[in-house]
Each structure stands twice: as structure tokens, then as C-alpha cells.
Chains A and B, each alone.
Chain A
Amino acid sequence: MGYLERYIGSRMSSALDTSAVRAQFPILGRQVHGKPLVYLDHAASSQKPVAVIEAQREYLMHYHSNVHRGAHALSQQATDAFERARSTVQYHIGAEHLEEIIWVAGATDGINLVAQAWGREHIQSGDVILITCMEHHANIVPWQMLAEERGAKVEAVNILEDGTLDDDDFQEKLKLGPKLVAFMHVSNTLGTINDAQRLTKMAKGAGAVVLIDGSQALPHMMVDVVDLGCDFYVFSGHKAYGPTGIGVLYGKKAILEAMKPWRGGGEMIDVVSLKNGTTYAGLPHKFEAGTPHISGAIGLGVALQWLTGLGLKSVMDHETILSSQARHQLGKIDGMRFIGSAPSTSGVVSFVVEGVHPYDLGTLLDQQGIAVRTGHHCTQPIMEHFDIPGTVRASFGAYNTLQEVDVLVQGVERALKMLR
């Protein structure tokens, strides 16, 4: 019997001191519809610890200034904090070089950057871009747009009934010789944790450039881009306890260096001349036109430090315990069907109940102070695959508790009594 089985069904305490963790999230103290908030929408956006809120406040109160410009003290201080945050990201994801870390607005922005700056240079007519059926729309639509422009084709790897990737289909589609393989590390809808290292190795073996969408992985587990071996890795700050509007594109130095800039403007130039044309700055600034989201970057750096302080292994164990417990208890409900029950899942539990619309269930959970997400979760191909209108998704973070799992289960039972 593994450690997880010992937890499930027993009411043992968790891998984290949740009351100490919760105390750091002011928002968790509020009420919704007169009930204590039970926030189970972590996968859409995580709440923010005081450390992140304070770091942004500190910047705005005491040293706000533009970065990389100006000879004055504030600018120097802001630039230092901004660049320190970059190196925090570098160490957090194990990148070899600081300049491999590009600030973007979020994972979506990062993928679009690669589609435009790398894709338009390398994707030709007739080429294949390989994605999977479980991707978030952010890792589908930019490739469709690119493919349409270049006359290329987007192919998608099937998923199996339990929400894992169809390995045979992946191998089969690699034979098409895709120029690019883009897939998510962890599924936001199914909770499936893909074996990203293995998939990357296979894709690289087939000669493809590999991009991984790590939005759901980064807040949940240790990520090492060198171990993974991928060419690009993107994630959003706001799902990893950081601010909205900031995210990261990691790219291997050689491949980034060979790429032309995508957006033009200030910050990304070397010399601008109306007579002789413009030369561009080096990495990473070449891809960071305009004034960046300085407070966001600083906040994200602090969020990652905070996450490291908790211990990513403990966070992952904690979330796995909560989601396993939720599956165990919800599974007893008549008509319950989990969408995604891979052997390896994150803190995400997606489900539908026979004869009940997910939207109705979500509304009645909200009435009880329980925040879940309902709908297609920006993954319409998954809904198509399972032939469902949407799911109810509960997703757990470091601050959630076993008691909240109980509240969720009781909330679902109460709602079902009304709806059926």
C-alpha cells in the first residue's frame, strides 16, 4: 500500500500545514452568498499570498520606475528587482542561461510569440504541426492560424477513455514528420500529467522542435526544462500564485538567438536609424518590446520563491491527496462520471453527473460558497471527444483542505437533491 492509499479514506493530516498556508491568503477569509468561501478554481487562477501582494505594493509605493532606462536611483532599483525576478525564474525551472527567460503576458502570449517569430520562419506549405486533443485553446488556435497562413496542417494526437494520451497514435503521427510538436505538461480539464520528458524525447527523435505548455504543471510540480529537453516551455504567472498579465517563455538560447523579433518598439532595439534601418537588442530584450509588466514580474519572482519555500514535493503530495480524496468521496454518488481518470493526475477533478447539466450544478455550488468552474474549460475538443456539454471542475491548490473536500461533496449532494 502506497502513501496515497494510506491517506485516502483515513482522515490523516496532509503533507502541508494548511492552516499556516491559508493564513497567508487574505481572500480566503471572505464569505460568498453568506457562506465561507471554498475556492476550488485554482486551475483557472490561483489566489495570491501576502508575500506576492506586498512585493507588488512595495514596488508601487517605493521604487516604481521604468526599467533599463534612466540614470536615476529608482530606475536602477526597479531594474535590479525586475532582473532578479528573471533569475528566480531561471533557477526555478532549471534553465541554463538567464537570457533564455523571456517575459510575456502569459502562456497564451508565449505560444503566440513562438508561432509568429519561430513559426513564420520555419513552417512551410505542406508541413505538419502536431498537437494533442487535450490541448487548451491557447495551444490550438495560434497553430491553426499559422497553418492557415503558411498552408501547413495541424494534426492532433488522440486521447484514450481515461484521459491519457494515446501513445500508439502519438508514435504513428510522429511518422508524419512534424516540424513542431506542441503539447501540455498537465491537462487543465482532465488533470492528466503527461510524461513530458518521454514525449519530448520521442518528438525530438522524430526531428521536431518541441513546445510544452506548462501552465498547469508549474504550480503543481517541479519542472526542469533541461531534464525535459524541450525547446520551448511556457507558463502563466497567475496560475502559480503570481499576478495576472505576466508569464514566461523559456526557449533554448541557440533557437531564440536565431529567431527574429516579433513585436517592434522600445526596449528591443540596438540602434534605430531612419537612414540606415534598425538593429536589434540581444536576448532576452529582443522579444520584450515596450515597457514590461514590471510589478507583475517582481510578483511572479516572489510567488515562485514562496512556492519553493513551501516545498514543491509537499505541494504536489498535498494536492494529489485532496484530489484523490475528492474522487474517492464523489465516486460514491449515483450517476457520477469522472472525465479524466489517468493513473497520474494533478489537483484537478472534472466530472459530470448523469441527467444533470454541469451549469446547474455549478450554480447551486456557488450558492453554497463553493467556487468551481463549469463549461468546456477552453478545451472544446475534449468535450467533443467525450460527447458532453461541459464538466464541473474542482481544482485544488496548496491552500485547500480535506474539510473543503467534505464541503464540496456535501454541496454536490445537496444540489443533486434539488436537481434530480
Chain B
Amino acid sequence: MNAELQSRQEQIVEEFSFYEDWMEKYEQLIDMGKELAVLSDEHRQDEHLIRGCQSRVWLSATRTEEKHVRFYADSDAIITKGLVALMVRVLDGLPAKDIAESDLWFIEKIGLDKHLSPTRANGLHSMVQQMKRYGVAFQAK
């Protein structure tokens, strides 16, 4: 597996391990959401909306010369935006192939899979699937 991907996941797990209380973990997510750049109109299009979320999530991507993927994402809800930011932080700029084949073990490690409500967990799942789909598509090009 991509070493950069591994170290990014380890870094996030370490950051989240500082907090025992989930209110604090949410606070962390909210901060990450607030820090994520506002999406330009070019990417904030209905065609980039991900289905299956109670809030709206936009996700689009471009490919660099070296088949690396740049992600552009946003949400109208701040916690969701935090989750979006988290995913972008882990996968942004990596080679398409590594994104397509990525094992995102940090999600389980920090307890997101168990803790999120079913609608949020579905939304996160859709987001991960969509990012991997970009990886697959850009790898083939």
C-alpha cells in the first residue's frame, strides 16, 4: 500500500486518539470542515452531488499529468463537511491506482463506522465509493 496513504491514516488516528469524548471528536470534525476551502462554482454543480446524504455533498476530481487525483469537495452541513475534509485529506494528490485500491482502515480505527448514525454512515460510504470510482476511472485513462 502507498506509504503516504499509510502515514496520513496514522496521523489522523493519532489526532483523534487525543479525545475520549465524542463531542470533542465532533468538534475536531467541525474545525476540519471550517478549514476546508469553499468550493468554486465550477465544482459546485448538481452533477457532482452524491446521493444518499441527508445534507448535500459535492465531490469532483481532476487528474494530473502523473495520474494523481485532486479532489474538490464541499457540503452544506458542517459536520458532513468535516467528514468530507477528512476523506480529502487522506486521499487527495495520491496516484489514481492507489486510491482505487485503498484500504481506508482509519475509519474503523477511529470508530466512525460504529459511531455514525445510519444515514451518516451511508453517506460516508457513498463518498468513499465515489472517490474510489474516480481512482478507477483516472487510472484507466
Residues of A within 8 A of B (CB): 33, 356-357, 359-360, 363-364, 366-368, 374-375, 389-390, 418-419
Could you tell me if A359 and B23 are in contact, using CB atoms closer than 8 angstroms?
no
Could you tell me if B22 and A357 are in contact, using CB atoms closer than 8 angstroms?
no
Closest CB in chain A relative to B9 CB, distance in Å: 24
Could you tell me if B117 and A418 are in contact, using CB atoms closer than 8 angstroms?
no
Known contacts being A363-B120, A366-B117, A389-B76, is A418 close to B54, with CB within 8 Å? no
Say yes or no: is B80 at the interface (Cβ < 8 Å to chain A). yes
Q: 24 A-B residue contacts at CB 8 Å? A: A33-B22, A356-B78, A357-B55, A357-B76, A359-B55, A359-B80, A360-B30, A360-B55, A360-B77, A360-B80, A363-B26, A363-B79, A363-B117, A364-B23, A364-B79, A366-B117, A367-B23, A368-B23, A374-B54, A375-B54, A418-B23, A418-B27, A418-B30, A419-B78
A418–B30 Cα distance when bound, in Å, is 8
Could you tell me if A419 and B30 are in contact, using CB atoms closer than 8 angstroms?
yes
Q: Which of A356, A366, A368, A390 contacts B54 (CB 8 A)?
A: A390
A366–B23 Cα distance when bound, in Å, is 10
Closest CB in chain A relative to B27 CB, distance in Å: 6
- The number of chain B residues with a CB under 8 A from chain A is 15
- Chain B positions within 8 Å of A374 at CB level: 54
- Chain A positions within 8 Å of B120 at CB level: 363
- Contact string against A for B residues 75-109, beta-carbon threshold 8 Å, 1 for contact and 0 otherwise: 01111100000000000000000000000000000
Closest CB in chain A relative to B48 CB, distance in Å: 17
A390–B119 Cα distance when bound, in Å, is 15
A375–B30 Cα distance when bound, in Å, is 20
A33–B116 Cα distance when bound, in Å, is 12
Known contacts being A359-B55, A389-B55, is A364 close to B26, with CB within 8 Å? yes
Q: Which of B22, B26, B79 contacts A359 (CB 8 A)?
A: B79
Closest CB in chain A relative to B92 CB, distance in Å: 23
* Nearest 6 pairs of A and B residues by beta carbon: A357-B77, A359-B77, A359-B55, A360-B79, A359-B54, A360-B77
- Which residue of B is nearest A376, CB measured? B54
- Which residue of B is nearest A375, CB measured? B54
Closest CB in chain A relative to B121 CB, distance in Å: 12
- Chain A positions within 8 Å of B22 at CB level: 33, 367
Q: Which of A389, A390, A418 contacts B26 (CB 8 A)?
A: A418
Closest CB in chain A relative to B124 CB, distance in Å: 13
A375–B54 Cα distance when bound, in Å, is 7
Closest CB in chain B relative to A389 CB, distance in Å: 7
- Chain A positions within 8 Å of B80 at CB level: 357, 359-360
- Which residue of A is nearest B25, CB measured? A367
Q: Known pairs A368-B23, A390-B54, A419-B78. 14 more at Cβ < 8 A?
A: A33-B22, A356-B78, A357-B76, A357-B80, A359-B55, A359-B77, A360-B77, A363-B117, A363-B120, A364-B23, A364-B26, A364-B79, A418-B23, A418-B30
